[in-house]
Amino acid sequence: MHQRIAIITGSSSGIGKAFLELLAGDKGEFYKTPFDEIWAVGRRKDALDAIASSVSSVKVVPIAADLSGDSGIRTIEDRLKSEEPVVGLLINSAGMGIKGAVMDKTAETLDSTVSINCSALSRMIRITVPYMKKTEAGRPAIINIGSSAGFLPQPGFACYAASKSYVISFSRAMSCELKPKGIDVMVVCPGPVATDFQRRATEGKEADFTDWRKNFVIDPVKLSRASLKASRKGRKILVYPFSQKLLHLASKIVPTSWILAFMGN
């Protein structure tokens, strides 16, 4: 009998880690039947091993893979071909973004942002879908972590915001393409989240959000719980929390030039 698994990218920290811990401790809140294994994908092997050793309720399989290149994707693809599991859930949580003007960033930084946020997410779906099928436990699902930054262009964070626009658009298209296969696809669009993202995005200059965004920071566990519940209901998009719903609405009715002027100031 094939193992029923969940795959979580970016699971060594932040939102991905929150997803992993919630699924590992699930007592029926999200799924009536627990997963046999959770494949934890990330770049830091030491962090993945620590998480795997700390979880006893379900088998966590740490997979060290850098998804910014072909070798990382092939690592996961080869394992899927070898073990032929039933993938019940794919969570694309891996992501990156570096703040600053595009002309101040290296070509490698821009390439990595697009590779991880767009290409890796797309290819993870491409290699995983063949192993997804409906079982007694329910329909398989894909959760892509987008961002409310994807609603509008963001000067000073242009590549990241544009990459998240791709995630939103791609996810909506995939929800239609994969519907005949019985696979649910949902994109999550949160605002600022209390993770290590801000420190990495500012290259160590800021550990926390310091501008107006600091008033809207949310807990990654609350975000992950809301995302899992929304996914099981078959939602196509989750904009979380309410403050980001207002931003989403504003992006549709307020002229983009006005919003860009506000953000630029």
Q: Tell me the residue range of the domain where 43 lies.
A: 4-264
Whether the Cβ atoms of residue 209 and residue 192 lie closer than 8 Å to each other: yes
pLDDT digits (tens, 9 = 90+) for 167-207: 999 999 999 999 999 999 999 999 999 888 777 777 777 76
| This model's pTM is above 0.75 | yes
Cβ neighbour number for residue 249 with a 10 Å cutoff:
12
- As given in the structure block, the two tokens for residue 210 are 């310091």
pLDDT digits (tens, 9 = 90+) for 85-139: 999 999 999 999 999 999 999 999 999 999 999 999 999 999 999 999 988 878 9
Indicate if the alpha-carbon torsion angle 253, 153, 197, 145 is positive or negative.
positive
pLDDT at 147: 96
pLDDT at 195: 84
User: pLDDT band at residue 262, thresholds of 50, 70 and 90?
Assistant: confident
- CATH number at 97 reads 3.40.50.720
Cβ neighbour number for residue 242 with a 10 Å cutoff:
8
Number of domains in the chain: 1
pLDDT digits (tens, 9 = 90+) for 7-51: 999 999 999 999 999 999 998 899 888 899 999 999 999 999 999
C-alpha 62/C-alpha 65 separation (Å) is 9
19/216: higher pLDDT: 19
